[in-house]
Amino acid sequence: MPELPEVEAAAIVARRVLVGRQLVAIATHHPSQRRALPPRHAARLAGRRIVAVERRGKSQLVHFDDGAVLLVHFRMNGDWHVGASDAPLPPHARVALTLGGGTRLCLVDSRALCTVSYHAPGSPPHLELGPEPHQLTAAGLQQAFARRRVPIKHLLLDQKVIAGLGNIYAAEALWRARLDPRAPASALGSARLAALVAGIKAAIADGFARQGRYREGAREHAFKVYDREGLRCRRGCGAIVRITQAGRSTCFCPGCQR
């Protein structure tokens, strides 16, 4: 699933293509998208000008000049595709935004799990999200973790605790902080919380440095534990193992994450 760095990279593309342009039409190309964005809602946006594209957590918000908002979520593997409005649709196009000047921005998704929803002027989407990683503090995490005896990894994936952090960068952050993902969140003292905050920010910064999806740029900015099951820990203290937590894979090093 695209996480914060990947969604921000996509939002930069959308911002460059959309902001300041007039939307000629928006069309849906899959039944699930038509349910989320029915034609009567899409028609309200025709002729409107896009004034901003904002990222919040893993969501993108496209703001129009009348105050309406399109809320976009890639889900598992959505992405933007930029092309000419008279060109054939790209494979797996689910929603197509045609702009003045002959440009089209398509939301492509092979699984058709992505969502686009219309929010009328004066009724912005309500996103129950915690702070962005760059806003995190040890004191804030301590408050969120207090009396929560669930494993740390579970809480790191809770978007109400941290917006935009997902499975990959949570595992990377825990390795950097030398924390066992199975440890109860409430057991962390101030020093370990500070190390976790630093680990989260460093992992996200590495994600931004890749400038693309997961494996792109991996040679220059290699993952520390993600997708490295059975390989030697980069600290040289043993092999990376993989466990399952709440139905998700977690890679970590038992030798240094205690």
Please give the backbone phi and psi of residue 63, each rounded to the nearest 5 degrees, phi first.
Answer: -100, 135
From the list 2, 5, 133, 181, the catalytic residue is 2
From the list 6, 55, 58, 228, the catalytic residue is 58
- Bridge partners, residue 84, by sequence: 103
Q: How far apart are CA 206 and CA 197, in angstroms?
A: 14
Q: How far apart are CA 233 and CA 57, in angstroms?
A: 30
Instruction: Look up 3 and say whether it is catalytic.
Output: yes
Q: How far apart are CA 100 and CA 111, in angstroms?
A: 29
CB atoms within 10 A of CB 49: 15
For 64, counting Cβ atoms within 10 Å of its Cβ (0-12 exposed, 13-18 middle, 19+ buried), the class is buried
Strands 241-245 and 103-108: unpaired
The residue behind tokens 């900015």 is: 221
Instruction: Look up 2 and say whether it is catalytic.
Output: yes
Return the amino acid letter for 182: R
The residue behind tokens 């797996």 is: 92
From the list 182, 229, 248, 254, the catalytic residue is 248
Catalytic machinery residues: 2-3, 58, 248
